Each structure stands twice: as structure tokens, then as C-alpha cells.
Structure 1
Amino acid sequence: MNKYWMLALFLAAAAGWYYQHQNAPGPASTPQVQPSPHQEPRTVSLPEKPQLGVSSNWIIRSTSRDTGITAAGQIFTPPTEAPTLIRLGFQFHQYNRNGLQSDVRFQVILAEWQVDHPSPVELWASEIRTLPRIAETYKYSWQDFDVPPIKLAADREYIAWVTLSDLGNPPDTAVGIPDMGPTYRTSPVTDPNATPIHNYERGRSAFFREANPGGIRDHMTGYPWEVRDSGRNIAFRMLFAETP
């Protein structure tokens, strides 16, 4: 009996040792810190909603003998919550005059708006871009540019303007930019209570209408521009980001 009793005690002790070691807590592990996901800066678009449809077009020419337009721009104020401009674009309307329309070279310039004309100091100028001639009767297309992040002042007005002058275009080369004025649910001609719906009520379009037979732009920032009422814009779109 003693032999079996001693064996039972030994097996019980071994089982107890095994249980304690199986359930003993291991060394404390170092908590893993998860890196916070990268958050892209919030962006704001101007206008907030895209324009639906096209009304009329403003014709921009490379040269002008009288009061034709050789530069057109959009006056805007950057959003307070996101004043850094990162992208801008305009919609263009090309048309084919019986196969005679040539390629169109254009450039976009950003500057402060000074009462009635752009500042002669450029904040940014795009590369010179070409709209190839078209085979169809007409064509609408957006031309967008990535802008090196430019922080603008939310209490100032700026203008992004387009010109075909001084870029080697043949005389009278022309392209259109659609009008982006207010829209109406009912016709303002027949309904005296028709209310305008503005895509961007704070904005205004502006045009350089001085005679420009030589197709130059040195004097474009020295003369007053024709400016339309608030809420009457050209077809543009801009993207702004929060400043880090």
C-alpha cells in the first residue's frame, strides 16, 4: 500500500505544478501604438455646385481692332476656412469656321484684383497650353491646372484671367468661354417674380476690351476692365485646401 500511496502523492504534486505553470501570467507585453492615419486637408470648391447647361459664350480673341475682348477673368474671394488655392480651371468653347479655325494657344494668370484691373504683379502663371483645332462644328471642354499651393488672404479679391495675346496665335484667333450667370426656375421675361439662382453670388466676371490690334498684353493691367454685376461669372472651377 505504501508503494501505491507514494506514487499517488507524486502524481498529484506533478499535476499541481503543471497547472500552475500553464495558467501563470506571462511577462507584461508592451502595448503597440497604432500610428494615426494620415488625414488629407479639407477642401472647398468654388462654385459649390457645378453649372448646369450653357447659355451664351464670351469670345476671346488674340487681337482686337476696336473693343473686342482679348482677356477675360473671374474675380473671386477665397473661402475663409480654406484659403489655399491648389487647382483652377475654365471651360472653353471651340468652334470650327468651315475648317479655318487654327490651334489656340492660351495662358491663365492669377493676380490680386485692384479696384478695376488686375495687379501687374503675377502671383502665378500657367504654362502655355494649346487647344488643338477640331474637326467637329463645336466642342466644349474643361482645362484644369494644378497650382503650387498658394495661400491667399480671405479678405481680398483676386482674379484668374485668360488671354490668347502675346502667344504666337495668328491674328483674330478666337475661343469662347461660356457665361455662368444666374439660372431661373421660371422665365424672367414672362415672370416678373422670377428669382435668380446664383452659382457663386460673390463672384464677378471681367473683360479687357481696349483696342489691341498688335495682340500684346503689356497694357492689360494698366487700363480699367469691364466688370459685370455680382453673381455673373464665366464658367470656372477652383479647389481650395485648409492651410496646415
Structure 2
Amino acid sequence: MPELPEVETVRRTLKNFIIGKEIKEIRVHYDKIVVGDTNNFVATLTGQTIRDIDRVGKYLIFILDSDAFISHLRMEGKYNIIETSKPLNKHEHLSFVFSDGTELRYQDTRKFGRLELVNKETYRHDLPLCKLGPEPWDADPKEIYAKIHKSNLPIKALLLDQTIMSGIGNIYANEICFSMKMHPLTPGKRVSKKRVAELIAVSKRILEQAIAQGGTTIHSFDANGITGFFQVQLQVHMQKVCPVCNGPITKEMVRGRGTYYCKVCQKKRG
């Protein structure tokens, strides 16, 4: 699933290609990709020009003349910018046809991604974005500590809870726990105030490194043909040997998510 660095890479890439383009036509090939009334989505956005692209957590927000729509890529969503004459492939479910003869096509093998009209002025304060916690750069250690210090849930699961802190997914949660030498099953209630502050700092550092490298290419992620390179820096996710102690990396499921960690460097305490 694209996480914050991957979505930020998509945002920056798309801004180079589609800002200032007028939407001449919208073709929806799979209605469930659009949340709400598909005809209203098409009628509202047709004829408007894309002015900017924002990001909140893992969501993209396309800002037009008088309206906006959010896009959640979910597992395998991606955008491709192509010439209109190119044949549609079976995984391209929605097309924004621009007046200059190019198209922005939304491709999604699993069809989990969603697009939804939102208010251009208030989208950050409306559903679904208003439920998101702060991104690590905006997180207050006291507030994050207050959210987790009574929880019996493992820290790995809490890192994935977008209402606590947004933008972190499975890959980076594994990397953050490893960097902190914290066992992923450590209950939230055992994470001290000092460690919460460290957790936020490490999260920022790792996400910034990943953004600088263009995200992580795992399976199908790419941003219009531009793939990320952070995978070469991954310390534990999908690795076999610990880069610190040279011991084996363990993989197990933590609340349904594949979790990689080193039993030596990330000893379970308490």
C-alpha cells in the first residue's frame, strides 16, 4: 500500500504534468471507484482546470477552479499520464481527458481505491480527512502519549492507526520500530513519554529519507513510471539478515500485518 512518502512522490510528480490543464471529459469505467453519485462527480468537474494538488496523510486532494476531489490509492492505485489515443487497459477505471489531448488515467488492479468530491475550502475539516491524526511533523509528543499510554495494543498496530498519527503504513512502521530497537509487540502503555518523543522524531527522519529517495518500490508502486529507491535503504522490512547483529530477521503477523524485526536488537521488555 502506498504510504506517505509514496503518495507525496505521486503528488510532486503529477504537479509537473497536470497543473493548469482543463478537464474536457471524464470517463468512468468502474462506478464504484467514485464515492457517491458518479454522474454528479463527472458533471461537477468537467470544464474545470486543475490548479493544485494537496496531500493529507495518504490522501491526495486535487484542487480545481471551484471544487476539489480526494483520491485514496489504497493497495495498488496509481495515476498514468498518457496520450488519449492509447488504448485503455483493463485495470484503468477512470480517465480525465484534458483539452490538450492528454489523459490522466486512474489504474487500480484491485479496485480498492476511491475518488470523492469534497468542499474546496473545508476539506481538511470534513470527513474523511478530519478523522486523521497529525502527521509526524505536526505531532505533539504529549498528545500522542495521551492517546497511547493506556493502550494494550502493540506499538506496531498503534503506528498504523491513522487517527493517532497519519501517513505511516506497514513498511515504515517496521522500519521505525527497528530504528528505535523497540519490539513491535510492545504495548502502548509501556512506551514512556521520552520514547514517544523519540518515536515521533524517528518517524520524521525515516519518512523524510524516503521522500528524498522518491518512496519505496515494493511490488507495484510507481509514480507515472518514476519508481522510488528507498527500498535500498530498508533495514528490516522484507530482509533476511539484521544489518546490526547479522542475526536472522523474524517475520510474523501482528494484528494481520506482516511484521519484520530482529529478536536480538529488538528484545521484548516487560
Superposition TM-score tier, normalisation by shorter sequence: under 0.3
- Which structure's CA Rg is the greater one? 1
TM-score w.r.t. length of structure 2: 0.22
Greater percentage in strand: 1
- Higher relative contact order, structure no. (Cα contacts within 8 Å, ≥ 6 residues apart): 1
TM-score w.r.t. length of structure 1: 0.23
